[in-house]
């Protein structure tokens, strides 16, 4: 029994008392923010974290269980001023009053968080984080630039990842401090230097995890504007997956860790070799199918050619060509004979009508000095000198008498007609 009734008294067992006290505390107190100094920090093998928060007047035991502790394990140390959010409870087996922590930040992080939110909102309104200005990463970069501390774990993680994924890909290191005074200015200067040199195809801006104060250099406006103005694609890998900075918003691509940033920026040699092997196999199979199809086509054409007997067709065509050639030669010969006969006939007619033919029969042509031909006697004058054209040679004659009334010939026939008579 949880209670024993004695007359009118109610007696609680210790378990019931602690149970109801815990229920009462958890019902009455909502999620609270508590600030204090860390002391008695314990890290047992279970992965949970136990510590006390104290101020000058009091202290309270705190428990940070594994599912939350992994996010803050590296941030807690004795003597640190923390601002924690959680709920009041009671550890029932011992009756210990305790605070169950769900979120941790440095006590000074509140002001930093407000400044972070204000800067993020202002730069977002200016368009520095606009998705349409983000640049795509090259599939096969020739060189990768890495902006980080030369002595941190981040550079080792990045170089190890690059050697594993693509050993032939060179990297150029731009060493900068990643926290402390002047870190933001040095980071911005390195981004500007890489932009001017243009000797890298993609930039990585990386560092290991840390508190909000540790990441302050990556939350500065000068760094965000340098990233925005950078003509090279830039990938950030800052801290852990839960760490988000202003630089992450301004970058072309955000990776959860430095290792993830190197993986995003570099081609995987093994993956591409596998892809090449796969494509080579597909190409070989395609060529084999093509060759088989072509071989079958050749065989089919060979069979069709054999059925059509091209040798016989060639012989027939050759014989037909000889026949047509013979006919062409005969037709040409006949045409030339006919044309020759016609030519001789026309030549005879032309000769009969030619003035030279008339001159050969003993006639002459009289021509005045100005070249005019005399056709009538009245065209000449006494004493004129005329030229007589004969079939062979010329005579110069002087007119001594003119009889324009005389007939042209002694009889009525023309000279050619009399010759024929």
Residue ranges in the chain modelled with pLDDT below 70: 1-7, 108-111, 357, 406-421
Q: Indicate the SS3 state at residue 233.
A: coil
**Predicted local distance difference test score (pLDDT) of residue 146:** 95
How far is C-alpha 285 from the chain's CA centre? 28
Q: CB neighbours of 177 closer than 8 A, spacing ≥ 6?
A: 149, 183, 186, 217
How far apart (Å, rounded) are the C-alpha atoms in residues 36 and 80? 8
Question: Pick from 401, 373, 403: which is nearest to 387 by CA?
Answer: 373
Number of neighbours of residue 71 by Cβ within 10 angstroms:
16
252 with 137: CB under 8 angstroms? Answer: yes
380 with 401: CB under 8 angstroms? Answer: no
Q: CB neighbours of 47 closer than 8 A, spacing ≥ 6?
A: 66, 69, 70
**Could you identify the residue written with the tokens 């040679």?**
393
How far apart (Å, rounded) are the C-alpha atoms in residues 126 and 130? 9
**Predicted local distance difference test score (pLDDT) of residue 108:** 62
**Predicted local distance difference test score (pLDDT) of residue 418:** 47
**Predicted local distance difference test score (pLDDT) of residue 231:** 95
**Predicted local distance difference test score (pLDDT) of residue 412:** 45
Pull the structure tokens for residue 334: 């006949």
394-398, strands of its sheet edge to edge: 365-367, 385-389, 394-398
């Amino acid at each position: 029994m949880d209670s024993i009734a004695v007359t009118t008294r109610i007696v609680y067992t210790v378990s019931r008392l602690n149970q109801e006290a815990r229920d009462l505390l958890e019902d009455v107190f909502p999620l609270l923010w508590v600030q204090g100094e860390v002391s008695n920090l314990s890290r047992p093998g279970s992965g949970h974290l136990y510590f006390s928060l104290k101020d000058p007047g009091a202290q309270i035991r705190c428990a940070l269980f594994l599912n939350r502790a992994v996010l803050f394990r590296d941030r807690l140390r004795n003597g640190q001023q923390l601002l924690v959010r959680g709920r009041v409870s009671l550890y029932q087996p011992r009756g210990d009053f305790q605070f169950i922590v769900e979120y941790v930040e440095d006590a000074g992080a509140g002001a930093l968080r407000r400044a972070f939110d204000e800067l993020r909102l202002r730069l977002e309104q200016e368009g520095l984080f606009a998705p349409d200005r983000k640049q795509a990463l090259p599939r096969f970069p020739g060189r990768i630039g890495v902006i980080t501390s030369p002595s941190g774990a981040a550079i080792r993680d990045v170089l190890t990842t690059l050697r594993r994924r693509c050993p032939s890909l060179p990297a150029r290191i731009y060493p900068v401090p990643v926290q402390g005074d002047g870190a933001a200015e040095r980071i911005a200067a390195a981004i500007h230097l890489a932009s001017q040199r243009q000797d890298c195809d993609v930039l990585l801006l990386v560092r290991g995890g840390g508190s909000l104060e540790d990441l302050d250099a990556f939350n500065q406006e000068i760094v965000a504007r340098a990233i925005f103005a950078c003509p090279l694609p830039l990938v950030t890998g800052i801290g852990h997956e839960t760490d988000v900075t202003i630089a992450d918003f301004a970058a072309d691509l955000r990776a959860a860790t430095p290792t993830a940033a190197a993986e995003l920026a570099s081609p995987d040699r093994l993956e591409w070799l596998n892809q090449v092997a796969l494509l080579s196999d597909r190409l070989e199979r395609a060529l084999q199918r093509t060759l088989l199809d072509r071989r079958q086509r050749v065989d089919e054409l060979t069979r069709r050619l054999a059925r059509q007997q091209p040798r016989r067709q060639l012989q027939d065509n050759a014989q037909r060509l000889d026949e047509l050639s013979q006919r062409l030669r005969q037709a040409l010969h006949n045409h030339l004979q006919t044309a020759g006969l016609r030519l001789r006939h026309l030549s005879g007619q032309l000769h009969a009508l030619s003035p030279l033919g008339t001159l050969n029969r003993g006639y002459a042509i009289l021509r005045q000095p100005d070249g005019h031909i005399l056709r009538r006697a009245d065209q000449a004058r006494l004493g004129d000198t005329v030229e007589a054209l004969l079939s062979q040679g010329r005579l110069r004659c002087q007119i001594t008498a003119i009889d324009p009334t005389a007939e042209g010939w002694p009889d009525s026939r023309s000279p050619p007609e009399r010759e024929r008579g």
